[in-house]
Structure formats: C-alpha cells, structure tokens
Structure 1
Amino acid sequence: MIHVIVATHGPLAAALLESGKMVYGDLPHVHAVCLNDQTGIEGFRRDFAATLRHASASADGVLVLCDMQSGTPWNVACEQAFNPLTSPPVAVIAGVNLPMVLQADEIMHDAQVQTAAARLIALTQPTLVQAKPVPSAQTDDF
C-alpha cells in the first residue's frame, strides 16, 4: 500500500487534506505537513521526518506531493527520497492540487511507489484545463 504526504509552504497542505475530506470523507493514508514561519525550516524537517515515520508504517512506499519544485518541502522530501537508507521507498511530485489528493485513493494499492507516482500524474494531468466558451448550434426546434 502507498501512503501519501502532502507537503507545502503555509497551510496549503492542511487545507487540501480538509477539502479532500469534504469530497471523499476520511483519507486515512494521506497526511499533511506545512512549513510555517513559527517553526521554520528545521521545524519543518522535524515535522516531515515524524510524518514520514508514521506514513511509512505498514506502507510499501510513500508518495510526497509538494506545492512546487525546489522549495523547502521539495528539498526535504528529496533528501529522504534519494537517501539509500530510507525505507520504504519515497517518490516526490511537485504541483500538488486537489485532484491529486482525491486520486491518491486510486494509486494507494500499487506495489511500487515510482509506478504510483507516474500513474497519479497520468490520472490528474487531464484535470488541468482552461475554460473556453463552446459555440452551440441554434436549432429551429422549440
């Protein structure tokens, strides 16, 4: 089973998790870690490590969904993902959004976290759309 950590700047991770619960109900294998001014980078590192330990229990892998590439949440997650001592394996994706949080349910039964990461991207990429007016043909039928 794959567990998921949403890791972001500010309260975004917690808000995404709360919003996900509004839509799908309880998401027991999805966890949030937020970087904030009060705890700073070292506090985030400690919080992330504790959440990773919790998420790793009985998991085949942990998928970390970050708000953006190269920020503190991404860097801390990548430190774990690329550490050969990290077990179970960790994969990291940037660009978290609500559809990713909701679709986490679809990938949680994958055995390989890297496969789950690729599948989650494939599942949610079609949700990135721009609204455009659709011309409709006027019919004579009333």
Structure 2
Amino acid sequence: MISVIVASHGPLAGALLESAKMVYGELPYVHGVTLGETAGIEGFRHDFSRTLASASEGADGVLVLCDMQSGTPWNVACEYAFSPQTMPPVAVLAGVNLPMLLQTDDVRALQNVHAAAALLLELTQPTLVIAAPASVTQSDDF
C-alpha cells in the first residue's frame, strides 16, 4: 500500500487536503506538510522528516506530491527519494493539483511506489485541458 504526502510552499497542501475531503471524503493515507515563512527551510526539513516517518508506518512506499519542481519541498523530498537508506522507498512528483490528489486512491493499492508515481502521472495528464467551446450543440431533451 502507498501513502501520500502533499508538500507545498505556504498553505497549498492544507487547502488541497480540505478540498479533497469536500469532494471525496476522508483520505486517511494522505498527509500534508508546508513550508511556512516563519519556520524556514530547517523547520520544513524537520516537519517533513516527522511527516515521512508517520506516512511510512505500514506502507510499501511513500509518494510525495510537490507543488513545483526545484523548490524546497521538492529538494527535501528528493533527498529522501534518492537515499538508499530511506525505507520504505519514496517517489516524488511535481505539479500537484486536486485531480492528481483525488486519483491517488487509484494507485494506493500498488506496492511499487515508482509504478504508482508513473500511473498517477498518466492518470492526471488528461485532466490538464484548455477550455474550448463545444463543437456540438447539446439537446435539452433528456
């Protein structure tokens, strides 16, 4: 089973978790951690370590969904993902959004966190769309 951490700058992680709860209900396997202005990088590093320890309990892997590549949440998560001592294994994705978070339920049962990351990315990509007028007028008849 895969656990998930949403890691972000500011309150985005918490807001995504609240939105997911509103749409989908409780996601007990998902944890949030944020980089705040007052705690700084070392405070985030400590919070992430504590969150990772909690998310790792009984998990085959931990999938970290970051707000963006190369920011502090990404860099700290990658330190764990690339360390051979990290158990269970960690995979990191950037660009977390609400559809991605909701679709973690579809990959949660997998045991290989890297396969879960690849599948989640595949599932999420079709949700990234540009709005366009419908080419066919829909009937009002039911």
State the TM-score, normalizing by the size of structure 1.
Answer: 0.95
Q: Which of the pair has more CA radius of gyration?
A: 1
Q: Percent same amino acid among aligned pairs?
A: 68
User: What residue is the counterpart of 1:100 in the other structure?
Assistant: 100
Using the alignment, how far apart are the partners of 1:40 and 1:84 within structure 2?
A: 26
User: What residue is the counterpart of 2:36 in the other structure?
Assistant: 36
Using the alignment, how far apart are the partners of 1:63 and 1:28 within structure 2?
A: 14
User: What residue is the counterpart of 1:134 in the other structure?
Assistant: 134
SS in 2 for 1:51: helix
User: Does the alignment pair 1:57 with 2:57?
Assistant: yes
Relative to structure 1, is the Cα distance of residues 132 and 59 closer, same or farther in structure 2, using a 3 angstrom cutoff? same
State the TM-score, normalizing by the size of structure 2.
Answer: 0.95
Cα deviation for residue 38 of structure 1 reads: 1.0
Using the alignment, how far apart are the partners of 1:104 and 1:21 within structure 2?
A: 13
Question: Across the two proteins, how many residue pairs are aligned to each other?
Answer: 139
Cα deviation for residue 138 of structure 1 reads: 9.8
Using the alignment, how far apart are the partners of 2:137 and 2:8 within structure 1?
A: 45
Using the alignment, how far apart are the partners of 2:34 and 2:92 within structure 1?
A: 16
User: What residue is the counterpart of 1:70 in the other structure?
Assistant: 70
- Unmatched tracts of structure 1, length 5 or more: none
User: What residue is the counterpart of 2:5 in the other structure?
Assistant: 5
Relative to structure 1, is the Cα distance of residues 56 and 132 closer, same or farther in structure 2, using a 3 angstrom cutoff? same
SS in 2 for 1:92: strand
